[in-house]
């Protein structure tokens, strides 16, 4: 867990943990805030973090949605080298976030990650079984806003150059139709690898009140 600060030191720590090129880092990071944040301030903090990361990324997509359905282990659709920054708004709905280190599982099997995921589709129980030894549960806070940064890449490795991705899934044990569980999502990619989101779209992401 990292205490959020929009400065170079905190950004370097996040980048080292998330944009890993070796398996001595987890491939994800949880960031908590020293004080409560509203929805727009949370989204502003997400952009602030991206702006100070030591490696330049471009915003490839933006999203804001209310999710109370459990998911399977997956990577969000994106270019092969990509990161996710997820901003979770304070909610009464309890959830769990599990990370499967797919890159570590593939390395243990001596199979390139894209081929490993193609062979062992984690959306099905037989495929998911190949990742279970490499699963970590993120210790999510309750009743406050927080950020999670995730390496969403799908590249072979480890070779010391490629970012090594993980898979993630959410578990909602008790959905609450009377409440909302809002997640703000930013997909990042390396410059020149995908269409770039405009500054106007980024500004609207921070200021909007509607959901996708």
Region 25-38: mean pLDDT is 96
**What's the rounded mean pLDDT across residues 135-141?**
97
pLDDT for 40 beyond 90: yes
Q: Which DSSP category does 90 fall into?
A: P
The reported pLDDT for the residue numbered 7 is: 80
Instruction: Determine the pLDDT at residue 63.
Output: 97
CA of 126: how far to CAs of 120, 121, 130, 132, in Å? 7, 8, 8, 11
Tell me the average pLDDT across 28-51: 95
**What pLDDT is stored for residue 4 in this prediction?**
78
d(CA 130, CA 125): 9
Cα(3)–Cα(78) distance, integer angstroms:
28
Confidence of residue 10 (pLDDT cuts 50, 70, 90): confident
List the domain boundaries for the chain: 2-207
Mean of pLDDT values over 40-65: 95
Q: Give the per-residue pLDDT at 157.
A: 85
User: What CA–CA distance (Å, rounded) separates 39 from 184?
Assistant: 9
Going by CATH, does the domain composed of 2-207 fall within 3.60.130? yes
pTM (predicted TM-score) = 0.95
Which residue from 12, 78, 88 is spatially nearest to 43, judged by alpha carbons?
88
Give the whole-number percent of the chain exceeding pLDDT 90: 88
pLDDT at 5: 74
Nearest to 138 by CA among 106, 167, 165, 102: 167
CB atoms within 10 A of CB 198: 10
């Amino acid at each position: 867990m990292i205490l959020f600060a929009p400065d170079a030191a905190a950004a370097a720590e996040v980048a080292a943990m998330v944009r890993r090129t070796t398996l001595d880092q987890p491939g994800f990071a949880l960031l908590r805030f020293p004080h409560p944040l509203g929805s727009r301030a949370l989204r502003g903090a997400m952009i602030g973090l991206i702006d100070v990361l030591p490696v330049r990324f471009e915003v490839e997509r933006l999203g804001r949605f209310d999710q109370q359905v459990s998911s399977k282990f997956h990577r969000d659709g994106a270019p092969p080298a990509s990161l996710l920054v997820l901003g979770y708004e304070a909610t009464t709905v309890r959830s769990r976030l599990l990370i499967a280190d797919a890159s570590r599982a593939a390395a243990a099997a001596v199979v390139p990650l894209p081929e490993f995921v193609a062979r062992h589709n984690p959306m099905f129980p037989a495929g998911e079984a190949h990742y279970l030894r490499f699963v970590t549960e993120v210790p999510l806070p309750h009743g406050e806003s927080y950020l999670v940064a995730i390496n969403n890449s799908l590249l072979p490795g480890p070779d010391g150059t490629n970012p090594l991705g993980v898979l993630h899934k959410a578990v909602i044990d008790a959905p609450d139709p009377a409440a909302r569980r809002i997640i703000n999502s930013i997909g990042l990619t390396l410059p020149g690898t995908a269409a770039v989101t405009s500054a106007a779209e980024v500004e609207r992401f921070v200021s909007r009140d509607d959901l996708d």
